[in-house]
Amino acid sequence: MKKPKILVLRAAGTNCELETANAFRVVGGDPDLVHIAEIKAGKKRLMDYAVLAIPGGFSYGDDVGAGKVLANQVRHTLTDLRQFVRLGRPVIGICNGFQVLVKAGVLPHSNACDQVASFTFNDSGRFEARWVHLRLNTQSSCLFFKGLPEMIELPVAHGEGKLVLKSPRHLEDLKKTKSIALQYVTEDGKLMGYPHNPNGSIFNIAGLTNPEGNVLGLMPHPERFVASHQHPNWTRQTYRKQAIGLEMFKNAVDHAR
């Protein structure tokens, strides 16, 4: 079967690229780790790939704000990203990659390519790593979620994960366009504060998609749940769960085929 080529974008400080590439490989993708300097130098071209993944990490140390420097590089170097998205090719930004997509104005979608959202420090004031319960927006057309249950679990690990919007109006827009992909919830699906919402994000938002559903940005790490024994409770028989993260990568690869 055809192995879709996946561009896994790197920069100084990217650090989840290997496990992200492994996840794509397991579901039949052909991942290529590409440093943004290689794109800038014209050695690699975004349009030669079927899927773009921006993995987690601390690009450029998150100096001047999480993902900000890489977001600027994406704006000025990946100039064909808009076209890539318009063609319906899957794009996933995980953790630092989500921060990059937001600060580059790719998510939330806006016709003017404006940045209408950003991230700030967790309400707790600290970097935190924990597993969270999430609710998928079953109304969204996000291609990464095909066949997934409404309630899932994934780990988060970040210090600047609190999503903020330019104005309350933008929250209404997100709801209307079904762009809210994932929300932090309690085990029984309720919207609650810390620690269920680990960072204080507005409306418990954990992930965003575009109205077409081919771009997904999320703070949780699906690449850390691609085998059942990565779940924190896999040693408890009653908790054995399907590796949800892997399904997201599979959906992207299947879509690209």
Residue 226 lies near another protein (rule: CB under 8 A): yes
Instruction: Choose the catalytic residue: 109, 133, 158, 221.
Output: 221
Residue 42 lies near another protein (rule: CB under 8 A): no
Nearest in space to 217 (alpha carbons), one of 13, 74, 30, 28: 74
In whole angstroms, what is the distance from residue 102 CA to residue 167 CA? 15
Q: Which stretch binds another protein (CB under 8 A): 9-17, 76-84, 109-117, 133-141?
A: 9-17
Find the binder of another protein among 2, 76, 86, 130 (CB under 8 A): 130
Residues paired with 120 in a beta bridge: 162
Find the binder of another protein among 4, 90, 105, 155 (CB under 8 A): 155
Residue 12 lies near another protein (rule: CB under 8 A): yes
Q: Between 110 and 129, how does the x/- string for binding to another protein read (CB under 8 A)?
A: ----------------xxxx
Residue 27 lies near another protein (rule: CB under 8 A): no
* Direct distance between the N- and C-terminal alpha carbons of the chain, in angstroms, rounded to an integer: 9
Nearest approach in angstroms of CB 19 to another protein is: 4
In whole angstroms, what is the distance from residue 85 CA to residue 205 CA? 22
- Asked if 95 is an active-site residue, the reply is yes
Q: Which stretch binds another protein (CB under 8 A): 6-14, 86-94, 105-113, 142-150?
A: 6-14
**Buried b vs exposed e over 13-52: b needs ≥16 C-beta within 10 Å?**
bbebbebbbebbeebbbbbbbbbbeebeeeebebeebbbb
Nearest approach in angstroms of CB 145 to another protein is: 21
Instruction: Choose the catalytic residue: 142, 223, 231, 255.
Output: 223
Residues paired with 8 in a beta bridge: 33, 53
Find the binder of another protein among 3, 5, 13, 115 (CB under 8 A): 13
* Burial class (CB within 10 angstroms; exposed 0-12, middle 13-18, buried 19+) of 212: middle
- Asked if 16 is an active-site residue, the reply is no
Task: Copy the structure tokens of residue 253.
Answer: 């690869």
Residue 160 lies near another protein (rule: CB under 8 A): no
Residue 88 lies near another protein (rule: CB under 8 A): no
Residue 151 lies near another protein (rule: CB under 8 A): no
Task: Copy the structure tokens of residue 91.
Answer: 């794009």
Q: Which stretch binds another protein (CB under 8 A): 60-68, 84-92, 109-117, 203-211?
A: 60-68
**Buried b vs exposed e over 66-103: b needs ≥16 C-beta within 10 Å?**
bbbbbbebbbebbeebeebbeeebbbbbbbbbbbbbbb
Residues that bind another protein (CB under 8 A): 10, 12-16, 18-19, 22, 25-26, 35, 37-38, 56-58, 60-62, 126-131, 155, 157, 159, 221, 223-224, 226-227, 229-230, 232-237
Residues serving a catalytic function are: 95, 221, 223
